[in-house]
Structure 1
């Protein structure tokens, strides 16, 4: 499904993306969010509470085969990705919070992702053991570029900004490379996949964003922060999920587990775009009403 060369290229691209993620956060951003950490803490709790539970419930509801159910669960247990930062920017939500949450969930994923995988994995597929040791090792290795990016941004702001831009561009390139290489080669598999597989890939981000927005609203967060949490929690790091699957499984099992992370990475671009347009229009309407109230 994905050859050794492609796997190496995708892993290298992901490492640069994670480097850019770290370089995206300035000390000022960190200070602002640490001084009012409520939204940040709620986002981390929501990331590893809402998405794994949503993935687990969807896998059960759609009665997915064990390998595909595990693939969907792995996606749901991932931290936020840099793509959410781009959508937050276009939605006119809280970009600083989005960046800080992305990095915070990535760092905490080294502990929380294996825990939620263990919590839900056995109930979904008793015969498929998720190699948590490999998951932890993969996350730790991919967290190192984030820390390096933070250090670079602190030392050299211009270089940090360049790394941030490069990381964002390569994040898009990852999806493009997936579409160009993986989709044509596995076209027959995609055609033969039942509707439940597509429902899982499309439903996970949509339900995750809806649940996260409701969660933030119930807890009294401001509207921009609600939108930020919806995008940040619902748009997880699909490329990281793909990399972990490639490093954790082999052969035919790898192909089955990889299907949902690959489809999620493809469809989340469309689902997040629709949600972002809705948020942006709501923001613009609110801005237009402000002069009328003065």
Structure 2
């Protein structure tokens, strides 16, 4: 085994550990939050790397039925988020944060976790793009229906982020794979590892950018929000698993991550754009920490099960 193979194995097998380390560094050194402008290019590298494993044929094999079931799960997530917040008797501002979190696009790293777990990465990416575009309507609609308030946010900014961080790198990567299949396919072993490394960078930067908010909040409120984030994450995984039961095994794995993971960075941005008080961003921060650890652990478990 070469040094690169060993490094890739260590990164993937101990991804949970590296994420915890990144969170600790982010909290200890908030100045790393200044790297936030690099988040979009890092996400582009992350999505582009995992998309290099895809061919146009893989996208043509995505089944409409699977897409439809996963989209149904996306609609259910803001309702689940609202129910969790109400069950915990959270303040209105924090409840808004949970609803926005449930309504945004799946986490941009969900295709990475899907790939690491042996799921259908093409299906995950298709759902990510479709929900990302649909979230422009779903976010304000969910908040209006569930809370009776309108959330003004910049839809152009959300679309721009999706274009630069997801659609463009995915298109370039798939094009390169189609044009140079042998040359690109030679390094398939390392693309998920590059994406996993980008995940560690992103969680560290986002944690550093929100370190002040985490430190300054009430311990009681922070604990309840953390519990709510963990419950919502678990509900999302359960909903994805139930919706995926009629599907193939790789599609079922995809449903887990596509429904259970939420883009906490986009959620935090929407909350800021809406002008809500700082506590409204707490669900996004807490959920980001929870989902990155849980998804990495779940991906590792499913990957080992597949190898066995």
Q: Under a length normalisation based on structure 2, what TM-score does the superposition of the two structures give?
A: 0.73
2:172 aligned residue: 152
CA deviations on 1:131-182 (whole Å, 9 max, x unpaired) are: 1xx2423322223323433443355458x99999877644432210233343
Contact kept, 8 Å, 2:97 with 2:280, in 1: the verdict is: yes
Instruction: Please state if 1:138 is matched with 2:157.
Output: yes
Contact kept, 8 Å, 2:36 with 2:209, in 1: the verdict is: no
1:291 aligned residue: none
* CA displacement at 1:201 relative to structure 2: 1.4
CA distance in 2 between counterparts of 1:246 and 1:279 reads: 36
CA distance in 1 between counterparts of 2:267 and 2:88 reads: 21
> What is the 5 A alignment of 1:61-72?
61-72=87-98
- 5+ residue gaps in structure 1? 288-294
| RMSD of aligned residue pairs (Cα, Å) | 3.2
CA distance in 2 between counterparts of 1:170 and 1:153 reads: 16
1:179 aligned residue: 207
* CA displacement at 1:229 relative to structure 2: 0.1
Q: Under a length normalisation based on structure 1, what TM-score does the superposition of the two structures give?
A: 0.76
- Match of 1:193, SS state, is helix
Instruction: Please state if 1:207 is matched with 2:235.
Output: yes
CA distance in 2 between counterparts of 1:180 and 1:8 reads: 8
Moved more, 92-101 or 183-192: 183-192
CA deviations on 1:238-271 (whole Å, 9 max, x unpaired) are: 121122223332xxx4311111101111111222
CA distance in 1 between counterparts of 2:58 and 2:39 reads: 25
Instruction: Please state if 1:99 is matched with 2:125.
Output: yes
CA distance in 2 between counterparts of 1:279 and 1:163 reads: 19
* CA displacement at 1:183 relative to structure 2: 2.5
**Residues 111 and 29 of structure 1, relative CA distance in 2, 3 Å threshold:** farther
Instruction: Please state if 1:261 is matched with 2:284.
Output: yes
**Residues 270 and 149 of structure 1, relative CA distance in 2, 3 Å threshold:** closer
Contact kept, 8 Å, 2:104 with 2:267, in 1: the verdict is: yes
> What is the 5 A alignment of 1:42-61?
42-47=69-74, 49-61=75-87
**Residues 88 and 153 of structure 1, relative CA distance in 2, 3 Å threshold:** closer
- Match of 1:63, SS state, is coil
- 5+ residue gaps in structure 2? 1-30
Instruction: Please state if 1:30 is matched with 2:59.
Output: yes
Number of equivalent positions? 266
- Match of 2:61, SS state, is helix
Moved more, 108-117 or 18-27: 18-27
**Residues 56 and 163 of structure 1, relative CA distance in 2, 3 Å threshold:** same
